[in-house]
Chains A and B, each alone.
Chain A
Amino acid sequence: MMSGSGNSSGAASTAGADGRHDDDAALTEFLSSLMDYTPTIPDELVEHYLGRSGFNCPDLRLTRLVAVATQKFISDIASDALQHSKARVAAPIKDNKSKQPKDKRLVLTMEDLSKALREYGVNLKHPEYFADSPLTGTDPPTREE
């Protein structure tokens, strides 16, 4: 596992070797710290979906690594969506006549989520309305008086 196949093959000097050794040590430490940390995503779920993609590794630390990476990804998206939601709440009210105060609850909506996901390359389109018949939304026939 620590074969270092991805490491740089450049400098062969002792300084470079020490640097690589330090990097490897840091990585080893990080992986061991993963075992103490319980990610929000359960290991069984991650193992199942990794297995479906052909990922074959008996080492639990790699599974934890992927779980932590996924958790970070989702929390980044969530924080971006939160920023959009806060920006919407903080926007000035155009209609001054309304007496109701702007809803200050932080609610995750499809609009905020789709804006946040667009930056990560995920296109999420939500239909604006659902019609139960083809004539919904069309003008009703005018009555002859």
Chain B
Amino acid sequence: MTYGGGDAAREPQLDSQSTLKPRISTTTNQYGHAVSRISVTQILEATGFEHSYRRPIDALADVLLRYISHVGKLSVSYANMSGRIQCNVFDVILALEEIASVHGFAGQSDPNHSLSSSGVVLDLWRVVGKEREVPFAGSIARFPVTRSRQAETSQDTENEVEWGHIPDWLPSFPDPSTYINNSVSNESSVPRKQMERPHFSFRKFFSVNGSDGFAPIGHTNVERENEIVQRNPYLVPPLPHRERQVSDMTIPSERKAVSVFETFAPVIEASGGEIVEERGVISNKRPAVRFRIGVGTKSMSKMLSLRDTGMKEDLWTVKEEEMDSKKRRAEMILKESMEKPNELAQL
């Protein structure tokens, strides 16, 4: 049987690799679709066709697969309606009858007709008995092929207890020493597995700032914990009431005329750089809270690394130029806002 390359009459000439490939089959169905195409071709040949175009064969192959799925779905629904999960022959016959009811079959009108001698079954018997047998060309393996997985053999499985309620395909539990927090932990008593150190050390990262809030996992020690608590100011227990005398805040009087320039002075200061070195001046009067608004977007880690390598001076020279331009820009904005106080839509 010849296999045409497409409808020649009206279609324009297109190469075989064009996007005209029918999207009936998805990537998951391609194998099944290819097999069904072979079956369809054989059936068409047995029917009497000598030639065919590609698209009708693809369409019929798709119809074949949809028919099989449809019969399966109907059979399952009939089985479920009878309270079963496994289908039997009568479920299949009922499904076939439902599909054939559109066309009609012998004995359809009789509501009490026997399923065993249903018209559908007799038609099929005729096919089996009389028609020439055309076996499938070639043989195919059972699909989809399931890859056999090897059971995980690691150190964990040796110590694992066999739980009956936990399926095997779930990952094993972690080592109990990792999550059981023993206050009396002797390193010599229980041989522990070497903990893998992470590549990025939080301790190193934060030690520059002087905070030791993060401790490595696995070496929990009471003494060490106390040490950490003492060093980290956030973990210190709160002071009792009235233990430390705190000065009152000075709030600027509301009647005082506030100049725009003065209020925006901290912004201009801050636009110079992110790291502002702390001045060691400690005064009794606490100033009002000032928010520092950073303009740049460089991360902390970059700044730290530059500082470590000693490129501090270069960094500051570059920064000074930026500071000047930013200062100038800020001043311009202020001037404009002062001149047009009514048009402060941006703020």
Contact = CB atoms under 8 A, between A and B. Distances in A.
Contacts of B294: none
B86 A57 contact: yes
Given A6-B93, A107-B52, A109-B7, A38 B133 contact: yes
Contact of A120 (B36, B48, B103, B144): B103
Given A106-B51, A110-B55, A122-B63, A6 B94 contact: yes
Contacts of A52: 69, 72
Contacts of A81: 49, 56
B46 A42 contact: no
Contact of A42 (B35, B52, B89, B93): B35
A48 B115 contact: no
A95 interface: no
Contacts of A117: 59, 63
Contact of B140 (A44, A68, A77): A44
B234 interface: no
A107 B94 CA distance: 35
Interface residues on B, range: 35 or more
Interface in A36-79: 37-42, 44-57, 61-62, 65-66, 68-75, 77-79
Given A66-B92, A120-B102, A124-B59, A27 B121 contact: yes
B127 to A, nearest CB: 5
B135 interface: yes
A105 B51 contact: yes
Interface of A: 1-8, 10, 19-20, 23-24, 26-27, 30-31, 33-34, 37-42, 44-57, 61-62, 65-66, 68-75, 77-79, 81-82, 85, 105-110, 112-113, 117, 119-122, 124, 126, 128-130, 132
Given A37-B133, A40-B43, A46-B68, 20 more contacts: A4-B90, A20-B116, A23-B116, A27-B89, A31-B89, A33-B125, A38-B133, A40-B136, A45-B140, A48-B32, A55-B72, A56-B85, A57-B87, A57-B88, A62-B88, A68-B128, A73-B64, A85-B49, A106-B48, A113-B56
5 contacts: A53-B72, A53-B73, A82-B47, A108-B57, A120-B103
Which 7 A-B pairs rank lowest in CB-CB distance, beginning with the nearest?
A: A53-B72, A23-B116, A6-B90, A55-B72, A108-B52, A78-B47, A6-B115
